[in-house]
Amino acid sequence: MKSPILWIAATRGRLVMGTLAGLTGLAGVAYPVANYVRSSSSSPTFDLLLITAWMFVALFVGYVSALLVGDLLFPAGWREVSILGRQVDVTNDDHAHLVDAATRDRTFAFSSIWVVVVLIIVSSTYFATNNFFGWYARYGYASSTLRGENTERKVIILEEMTRALDDRLVTYAQLMTEQLDSSDPLVVTQAIWSLGEVSRRMVRSIQMMNQGKKGGQWVNGLYESLQREVLPRFLKLQATGVQGVRSEALIYALASLKSEDAFTGFKAKFKSKDTTKVELLAIIKALAFMRDQGNGVPMLRSKILDEDDEIVRMSLWALGEIYGFGSGDYSEDTVDTGTLDILIRSLPTMAFNRQCVALDLLQRLRPGHVGPQLFKLFDSVEPSDKSCERREVKLKFQAPELMSKGEEFRQKVLKTLATIADGNHEVIVWMRRRSKDSTVASGLRADMEHILQVVNERRAAQ
């Protein structure tokens, strides 16, 4: 049985008909298939089958078209000898044209024609389908997956889209927004998380661009679009009330969008007895991220004396983020006196794990009058080499952030004293005395001497 290629290549007429039929067929199905995948397909696997089938057909039609071109361009007999495989006696002068076809290799020329024809087909398809293949490479898999029924896969793709590093995020954000209307609660929750993360990244990108970093104009456009189209929906959702993980996701998204209006809902949650611990922790993280002193500090101050250790530790960390700008640097801002008073007054009676986090906060705030409380902490800790545990704040999309360094408690106290030692007579006198105290570990005494030396050098330089 002859192969389709040999049957078509048997006559030039068949080649003409095959070429016309093939090109017409490809042109006829390209747009409907592209439109179906763009707007209706819910199976990436089926998409790939369609695309693969189209490509094989394109190669086949390109081959047939190249045969027709070769039959027209090359000497008579080329098709019969090279394609149909006719046997030729090269010593027989009666078939000179066949002898010529049989003795000249035109494989490269024919292959070049085939490549050119295929490129023409692909280019034509590009214009006819508005760059379908380019679109599919960027958005096709995500688009079809999100129209499917596999919840797990949809949740995964919604999270994966947040990691895009270019203007794909513009279309991805549109796909995420569409999923807010999904009937699947898990998908809706992940869509909120993902839109929040995209918003956070846009805010950060805009900040970097304002500092002179390069960035695309699409960043500002996307952020404005999120503010205009997504934020009102989130505020409405906050007003109607949501619970559990979706509430946590919504808090994150509102914080990422830097919504001033969200503080009304946050404050109500803080005061409500029905608010879960998970929601409280989510709001505390949000306040740390938003770094709004006017709204955030009073709310966090109200939790410094809370009964729950984790709530207190997180509140202390969040205050450090607000005043230290998330960098671990010293704060140059005027610190709220009410917050400082509560913090310093409660410091000696705090649970040990709270004290560890509070000391890291004080290293940023540098209140000069905290010396006496720190002296007491240094002397009262038992055993004297007791250490603070390293603690981190887990974040959904980013690496964990440091809450409190893991180190010996007395070392942490000493570091805090070092931040207020310059110009503080009370601290200098204490440090001079304790640096000579043999009951203090030699390493700590050496650190005290180093701090005193640095202070003296600064004074001498002034």
In a domain, 353, yes or no: yes
The CATH number of residue 169's host domain is 1.25.10
Residues 149-184 have pLDDT tens digits of 999 999 999 999 999 988 999 999 999 999 999 999
Write down the mean pLDDT value for the chain. Answer: 88
Phi/psi of residue 274, each to 5°?
-85, -10
Pair 312, 240 in one domain? no
Identify the burial level of 448 via C-beta atoms within 10 angstroms of its C-beta, where 0-12 means exposed, 13-18 middle and 19 or more buried: buried
d(CA 342, CA 361): 13
Q: What is the pLDDT of residue 95?
A: 58
- In the chain, % of residues over pLDDT 90: 59
**Total number of domains constituting the chain:** 4
Pair 108, 193 in one domain? no
Give the end-to-end CA distance of the chain in Å, rounded to a whole number: 100
Q: Which of 240, 261, 290 is the last residue of a domain?
A: 290
d(CA 457, CA 376): 28
Closest CA to 26 of 71, 61, 52, 1: 61
Angstrom distances, CA of residue 166 to CA of 46, 89, 137, 199? 27, 64, 14, 14
- Site of tokens 């020329």: 109
Q: Six-digit token pair at 254?
A: 């509102």
Pair 103, 206 in one domain? no
Q: What is the pLDDT of residue 98?
A: 55
In a domain, 141, yes or no: no
d(CA 110, CA 369): 89
Q: Which amino acid is at 10?
A: A
- Site of tokens 């409500």: 272
Pair 171, 267 in one domain? yes
d(CA 192, CA 216): 24
Q: What is the pLDDT of residue 328?
A: 47
- Using DSSP, state whether 256 is helix, strand or coil: helix
Pair 251, 307 in one domain? no
Domain span holding position 442: 421-462
Q: What is the pLDDT of residue 362?
A: 92
What is the three-state SS of 363-420? HHHCCHHHHHHHHHHHHHCCCCCCECCCEEECCCCCCCEEEECCCEHHHHHHHHHHHH
In a domain, 209, yes or no: yes
Pair 77, 121 in one domain? yes
In a domain, 129, yes or no: yes
Give me the torsion for CA of 274, 276, 281, 286, rounded to 10°.
Answer: -60
Pair 117, 153 in one domain? no
- In the chain, % of residues over pLDDT 70: 92
In a domain, 105, yes or no: yes
Is the model's pLDDT at 331 over the cut of 70? no
The DSSP element (H or E) to which 260 belongs, if any, is: none
Pair 320, 273 in one domain? no
In a domain, 221, yes or no: yes
- Site of tokens 């918003």: 199
Residues 180-234 have pLDDT tens digits of 999 999 999 999 999 999 999 998 888 888 887 877 789 889 999 999 999 999 9
d(CA 251, CA 336): 25
In a domain, 45, yes or no: yes
Q: What is the pLDDT of residue 91?
A: 55
Q: Are 63 and 5 in contact (CB under 8 A)?
A: yes
Pair 125, 177 in one domain? no
The number of C-alpha atoms within 13 Å of 329 and in the hemisphere containing its C-beta is: 6
d(CA 188, CA 194): 10
d(CA 421, CA 201): 39
Within 10 angstroms of residue 218's Cβ, the number of other Cβ atoms is 16
d(CA 366, CA 456): 19
Name the packing angle between helices 244-256 and 185-210 (round to 10°).
Answer: 20
How big is the chain by its Cα radius of gyration, in Å?
A: 36
Q: What is the pTM of this model?
A: 0.81
Q: Six-digit token pair at 323?
A: 């005043």
Pair 113, 21 in one domain? yes
d(CA 319, CA 300): 7
Residues 274-313 have pLDDT tens digits of 888 999 999 999 999 888 888 889 999 999 999 999 999 9
In a domain, 60, yes or no: yes
d(CA 291, CA 320): 10
Q: Which of 249, 275, 290 is the last residue of a domain?
A: 290
- Using DSSP, state whether 49 is helix, strand or coil: helix
Confidence of residue 265 (pLDDT cuts 50, 70, 90): confident
Q: Which of 72, 107, 136 is the last residue of a domain?
A: 136
* 69 contacts: CB under 8 Å, gap ≥ 6: 113, 117
Residues 68-102 have pLDDT tens digits of 998 888 877 777 777 776 655 555 555 555 555 55
Residues 36-62 have pLDDT tens digits of 999 999 999 999 999 999 999 999 999
Q: Are 101 and 82 in contact (CB under 8 A)?
A: yes
d(CA 51, CA 33): 9
Angstrom distances, CA of residue 242 to CA of 71, 199, 236, 276, 450? 72, 20, 11, 12, 54
Pair 8, 131 in one domain? yes
Is the model's pLDDT at 399 over the cut of 70? yes
Q: Are 396 and 193 in contact (CB under 8 A)?
A: yes
Pair 172, 125 in one domain? no
d(CA 82, CA 15): 15
